[in-house]
Structure 1
Amino acid sequence: MNWLPAWHSFVCVVDSGSMAGAARRLGCTRAQVSKQIAELERAFGARLFERSTRRLVLTAAGDVFHQHARHALEAVRGTEIALRNLGEAPRGTLRVSATVSFGRHWIAPLLPEIAAAHPELECELILTDDIVDLVADNIDLALRMTRQPPEDAVARRVVGLRRVICAAPHYLARHGVPETPHDLVRHQCLSYVLRDDKVWSLLDARGNEARVAVSSRIHFNNIECILDAALAGHGVAILPTFMCHRELADGRLRAVLDGYEPNVIFGRDLYACYTPSRVRVPKVKVFLDALARHFQPLPPWERDAG
């Protein structure tokens, strides 16, 4: 049998959780996927899935095969990419993933410049706050805000990210300025739904942590909505300076608790993450070079603040 399509189908079944989902992803019928899985099981002499009416669960053999199949498919894909990108000129499609707010404000404007400089290159920007799978989603490079870059990818630090605790001056005039972290319990604190569990962690200059259970009647899962709510005077927020530098500079927002650094799950740095097969791919290199020019030694929002 032609093993490559069958291995790809198997991995798609695992990733999507069902043969029907894999078929939709592959653009074929469920029967075709089922046939390929059955042929794999006959070839290996082992069941790869435990089947039930509701879901598919990997057997021990299936789990081992899944690990090796993913690596094999990535190796094949890496070979194809390397061959397509022989030479120095970047060509083909560059697929970049970034978080919604950072990508919209700081990465989207870069892509037309890169495309204009390289006529054989097309650029795609995938904006999502979820973690993408570099292999399954065919992403050339993902920009991730994280404390710990993935161990199975190459990770290059792009820029440090600073966050501030801030509020609108008219909110502070009504409710007072918090002088210590525990003063926040008396304030409306605009939390990031599903991200901080309504507990803010703040570090002083010595690295000592203060954990404060905060409350608010308004919650969001989008940082731009938190910015809008803070500007409207609805509460105190933790915001990255790449989003609120102009508002801080013109006085629409005021930083408070300057001696404390918000300690958030996203970490302090933005990383460019890509698979080892992309290390020498010209289209990835030109994008990394553009990031370095744009964000180093100081990012534009810090230069503006200076």
Structure 2
Amino acid sequence: MRTVEHGSMAAAARELDCTRALVSKQIAELEAILGARLLERSTRRLSLTPAGEQFHHHALAALDAVAATQIAVRNQGETPLGVLRVSATISFGRVYIAPLLGRLADAHPGLTCELILSDQLVDLEAEDIDLALRMTRMPPQDAVVRRLATLERLICASPAYLQMHGTPQHAGELPHHQTLSYLLTDDHRWHLIDPQGEEHIHTATSRLRMNSTDAMVDAAVAGRGLAILPEYLAQPLLRDGRLVQVLSDHEPSTRFGRHLYACYTPSRVRIAKVRVMLQALEEMFLPVPPWGA
């Protein structure tokens, strides 16, 4: 399998930490057992023969079946066991999911928890993710999903910034302000829906552009300008006065959408470790999420 993936026996040997000669010997033995040549060898590259194509196709299917069987056997019963791999965005995962997984590990001695933090979309199957927390307009259609919370986004600034520059009363005033840009989703443009349902598109004016929500929060608190921030990060800062919400009657529209979903593949539906994680999430976020309490 590794020889086909890498296109050479030498590369396969490096990954498998063995010699090229051993890889060549094992392939030759397999060809002798099957009575068919699997690889066409040349000085520049290896390619599959028609028999090799057939063998490779069925071998992949067999490996998938073995992996599925291992998951099913490993997770039988009502006791959560093994490794629970959870994916979440960086800021949300750090604030809410990391502490939750710590409590889950304390409650279930047979469970090891892994948290994969990324603001990029993670492939559940390829990354062997048991459960992903997704902030999206449309959850993946091939996954089982549970909606956990509504995620509002607020326009915020520090009191010092507003004292110096004034408080905007309408989206039309934004060109006169410093507006921060979130690189991953906004293309340097803000999309705001006013109370009449009209969309206002505003080109971000600040020379600060970031791909980190945490950095956006820090910049807003430091008085660098207005920022569109997720409610789950903004609310504690609004309560203690470090930030002030402005244009509260304008709704920011982002590619993330307005809902938080727990997503997992159908093969994980009956697995105990996924079940206890989902229960813990529902207890935390339903009926009211922590930032709304």
Distance 1:126 1:21 in 2: 29
Aligned pairs, how many?
280
- Which residues in structure 2 correspond to 1:1-306 (within 5 Å)? 6=1, 9=2, 13=5, 27-28=16-17, 74-303=64-293
* RMSD (CA atoms): 3.6
Question: Tell me, which stretches of 5 or more residues in structure 2 are unaligned?
Answer: 46-54
Deviations 1:145-188 (A, max 9, x none): 11111222222212111110010111111111111112111111
Q: CA deviation at 1:280?
A: 0.5
> What secondary structure, in the 3-state scheme, does the structure 1 residue paired with 2:180 have?
strand
Counterpart of 1:116, as a letter, is D
Counterpart of 1:263, as a letter, is S
> What secondary structure, in the 3-state scheme, does the structure 1 residue paired with 2:120 have?
coil
Q: CA deviation at 1:83?
A: 1.2
Instruction: Say if 1:184 and 1:97 are closer, same or farther in 2 by CA, change over 3 A.
Output: same
Distance 1:197 1:67 in 2: 42
Q: CA deviation at 1:79?
A: 2.5
**Structure index of larger Rg:** 2
Structure-2-length-normalised TM-score: 0.82
Distance 1:271 1:147 in 2: 10
Instruction: Say if 1:172 and 1:280 are closer, same or farther in 2 by CA, change over 3 A.
Output: same
Distance 1:19 1:207 in 2: 62
Q: CA deviation at 1:75?
A: 4.8
**8 A Cα contact 1:189 1:235, kept in partner:** yes
Distance 2:121 2:11 in 1: 20
Deviations 1:95-119 (A, max 9, x none): 1111111000001111121112111
Structure-1-length-normalised TM-score: 0.78
Counterpart of 2:160, as a letter, is H
> What secondary structure, in the 3-state scheme, does the structure 2 residue paired with 1:109 have?
helix
Instruction: Say if 1:36 and 1:96 are closer, same or farther in 2 by CA, change over 3 A.
Output: farther
Larger mean CA deviation between 178-187 and 97-106 belongs to: 178-187
Distance 1:185 1:19 in 2: 60
**8 A Cα contact 1:103 1:127, kept in partner:** yes
**8 A Cα contact 2:3 2:11, kept in partner:** no
